[in-house]
């Protein structure tokens, strides 16, 4: 019997750097101390950003009402490619008119999606992207909420809707494609760095 993960994967094409963008949803300072598995999720987000830079994959960042929730955590912000624009928003989904225009400009057909909170902004972003015909690869090690149940239900909802579940490391190697060249050496070095382990619940789809 097919699992949710295999059903989602069968619907979408293999991840390719030239077609992709990394979307970082609302990984902001005010959320940091209250997130379930927050430090591992932030570390995975940081890995995804650094890997995207090495692979020349564009990064799109949003912040939900930063006046109250603060800006993107420094761990992630310091790794963003030069010139990366951060879009402030009030709607929950990242798919504002400005972000949609940016994705069209970049000719993106696939996104790697990470961020918080899974059951609010991330799930609404994922569903909007799927409705727009964009393949969504969900970095499950870089997505979380304040409460484990909210995260679990949101991840299951997104996978059932058609998102491909993956991890930051898995997605980077999928886009890399082969074990050769300087980019491979860079990615290999990044993934060997110590990172906090996510809670066991992160593995449940």
Catalogue the active-site residues: 26, 89, 121
Q: Which letter, b or e, does each residue of 146-168 get, where b requires 16 or more Cβ atoms within 10 Å of its Cβ? A: beeebbbebbeebbeebbbbbbb
Q: Closest by alpha carbon to 191, among 164, 166, 165, 170?
A: 170
* Burial classification of residue 203, based on how many CB atoms lie within 10 Å of its CB (0-12 exposed, 13-18 middle, 19 or more buried): exposed
């Amino acid at each position: 019997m097919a699992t949710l993960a295999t059903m989602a994967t069968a619907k979408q094409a293999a991840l390719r750097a030239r077609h992709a963008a990394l979307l970082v949803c609302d990984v902001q300072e005010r959320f940091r101390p209250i997130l379930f598995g927050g430090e591992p999720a932030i570390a995975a987000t940081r890995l995804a950003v650094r890997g995207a830079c090495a692979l020349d994959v564009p990064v799109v960042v949003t912040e939900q009402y930063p006046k109250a929730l603060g800006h993107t955590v420094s761990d992630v912000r310091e790794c963003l490619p030069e010139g990366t624009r951060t879009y402030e928003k009030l709607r929950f989904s990242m798919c504002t008119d400005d972000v949609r225009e940016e994705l069209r400009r970049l000719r993106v057909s696939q996104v790697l999606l990470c961020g918080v909170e899974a059951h609010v902004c991330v799930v609404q972003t994922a569903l909007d992207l799927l409705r727009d015909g964009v393949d969504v690869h969900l970095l499950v090690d870089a997505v979380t909420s304040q409460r484990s149940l909210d995260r679990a239900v949101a991840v299951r909802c997104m996978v059932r809707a058609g998102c491909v579940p993956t991890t930051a490391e898995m997605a980077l190697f999928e886009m890399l494609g082969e074990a050769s060249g300087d980019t491979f050496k860079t990615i290999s070095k990044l993934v060997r760095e110590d990172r906090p382990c996510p809670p066991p619940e992160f593995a449940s789809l």
